[in-house]
Amino acid sequence: MSNSIRAEVVTIGDEILFGQITDTNTQWIGTELTNIGIRVVRKSSVGDQAQAILDVLHEAHGRADVIIITGGLGPTKDDITKKTLCDYFGVGLVRNETALAVVTGFFEKRGRPMTDLNRGQADLPANAVYIQNDWGTAPGMWFEHEGRVYISLPGVPFEMKSLMTHRFLPKLHEHFNPPIIKHKMILTAGIGESFLAERIEDWEDALPPHIRLAYLPSFGGVRLRLTATGTDDALLTRELDQQVAGVLPIIAQYVYGYDDDTLESIAGRMLKAKGWTLSAAESCTGGAVSARLTSVPGSSAYFTGSVVSYSNDVKIAQLGVSADTLATVGAVSEDTIRQMAEGVRKALNTDVGIATSGIAGPDGGTPDKPVGTVWIAVATPTETRTRLLTLGQYRDQNIQLTTTYLLNLLREQLAG
């Protein structure tokens, strides 16, 4: 792997250091570079100070072949990336006529007036190759300098992704013609990281040097990532498949999917295979289950809808939950969750109904039913299964975990 192309991703902006925005760019860039066989060796974030930017550029020059810089290209005063790039390369700013035409067109198309600040976005370091941004007003720029490639991109995720996908990734591939890195992800649920490791120890020790294994624990499961490096795409794919075939007999009962599979996409495939439809009744998850189900393109083929029944009135009127049950054992109970799952199945006329009801927090807990007490249920034409979850005290985490456990219960029940 020492001869692979090395990349450093540099993010510029105080707002990232101070935690005031969520950085989704660098994860996306990491995935895309890995896919074309470029190895990310470092990610760095610095603030909007010229010296900090110069420092990281000098360092990155020493450890990477390509440096991807995002952020600091907006029209306003706190954005100093371009000036600092000029200092770093020892060049001046030059008005780029193509860039100016693109910015002008952008404003004309939207019927909005242009300011001097916007016109300034067409001024580029003299050694920049201008890369057209059809999705915004900040320029894409490509530099070659002392045997390294530097790419400068706006930080707005949509613009960055569009520019990378349509302009820079093809150009990088052509420029470096990198060796191939292939990944295979095995998704497991129901077994802890250390037990999984002990179970597959012999197989892991026998992996060839060009295939590496990593354990990625997350909510509700551990993902095993195999990474193979080489020059023959088909051979690497075959080798990875062989390794998966080798480990599968040892851990089959814990494996629920591969690679980009998600609980929601797998459940969706199983529903489609059976020709079944699905509906949801959500109380404590407040729409999160439905949102995850419908994040899958084409989910309208099996998901017909849901009732978010935050109040008891809605549970009674829309789902047919018995007022008596609510009065005697309460909304967070096995009786209620069963009626919710079966009720939404009936009300929305689907084959399967799923449901959540619990105390997400931070308020609403009692000594009897503390925050984190959650019931989930899955009702199919033949059977209703319920499960009690005992979660923690954090609202967001409780909503997220409940959603994951419910989708896993759905998957298990569809599997038979």
Please, which of residues 215-244 interact with a second copy by CB under 8 A? 215-218, 223, 225, 227
How far is Cα 55 from Cα 283, in angstroms, rounded to an integer? 51
Kindly tell me which residue out of 4, 15, 100, 325 binds a second copy, with binding defined by CB under 8 A: 15
How far is Cα 218 from Cα 53, in angstroms, rounded to an integer? 34
Q: Which is nearer to a second copy, 71 or 127 (CB)?
A: 71
User: How big is the chain by its Cα radius of gyration, in Å?
Assistant: 26
CB of 127 to a second copy, least distance (A): 26
CB of 91 to a second copy, least distance (A): 25
Q: Does 165 bind a second copy (CB under 8 A)?
A: no
Q: Which is nearer to a second copy, 256 or 303 (CB)?
A: 303
CA-based torsion, 386, 387, 388, 390: positive or negative = negative
- H helical segments located in 110-232: 116-120, 157-163, 169-176, 193-199, 201-205
Q: How far is CA 188 from the centre of its chain?
A: 18
Q: Which is nearer to a second copy, 174 or 363 (CB)?
A: 363
Q: Which is nearer to a second copy, 91 or 114 (CB)?
A: 114
CB of 137 to a second copy, least distance (A): 8
Q: Does 307 bind a second copy (CB under 8 A)?
A: yes
Number of amino acids touching a second copy (CB under 8 A): 107
Report yes or no: 65 and 175 within 8 Å, Cβ to Cβ. Answer: no
Kindly tell me which residue out of 5, 12, 29, 187 binds a second copy, with binding defined by CB under 8 A: 29
Kindly tell me which residue out of 194, 242, 253, 366 binds a second copy, with binding defined by CB under 8 A: 194
Secondary structure of residue 84 in the 3-state scheme? helix
Contacts of 275 (CB under 8 A, 6+ apart): none
CB of 315 to a second copy, least distance (A): 8
Q: Does 384 bind a second copy (CB under 8 A)?
A: no
10 Å Cβ neighbour count for 326? 18
Q: Which is nearer to a second copy, 91 or 207 (CB)?
A: 207
Q: Does 366 bind a second copy (CB under 8 A)?
A: no
Number of residues assigned to the chain: 416
Site for a second copy in 39-98 (CB under 8 A): 40-48, 52, 55-56, 59, 63, 74-78
Strands 140-145 and 129-131: antiparallel
Kindly tell me which residue out of 153, 160, 236, 288 binds a second copy, with binding defined by CB under 8 A: 288
Contacts of 415 (CB under 8 A, 6+ apart): 270
CB of 370 to a second copy, least distance (A): 16
Q: Does 297 bind a second copy (CB under 8 A)?
A: yes
How far is Cα 128 from Cα 86, in angstroms, rounded to an integer? 10
Binding window for a second copy (CB under 8 A); candidates: 166-174, 207-215, 233-241, 378-386? 207-215
Q: Does 28 bind a second copy (CB under 8 A)?
A: yes
CB of 317 to a second copy, least distance (A): 8
CB of 414 to a second copy, least distance (A): 19
Peptide bond just before 362 cis, omega within 30 deg: yes
Binding window for a second copy (CB under 8 A); candidates: 187-195, 236-244, 335-343, 404-412? 187-195
Q: Does 17 bind a second copy (CB under 8 A)?
A: yes
Q: Which is nearer to a second copy, 127 or 182 (CB)?
A: 182
Contacts of 228 (CB under 8 A, 6+ apart): 181, 182, 183, 184, 210, 211, 212, 236, 239, 240
Q: How far is CA 230 from the centre of its chain?
A: 27
CB of 200 to a second copy, least distance (A): 10
Site for a second copy in 385-404 (CB under 8 A): 392, 394-397, 399
Site for a second copy in 106-145 (CB under 8 A): 112, 115, 117-118
Report yes or no: 381 and 345 within 8 Å, Cβ to Cβ. Answer: no
Rounded (10°) angle between helices 50-63 and 81-89: 50
How far is Cα 9 from Cα 12, in angstroms, rounded to an integer? 10
Q: Does 173 bind a second copy (CB under 8 A)?
A: no
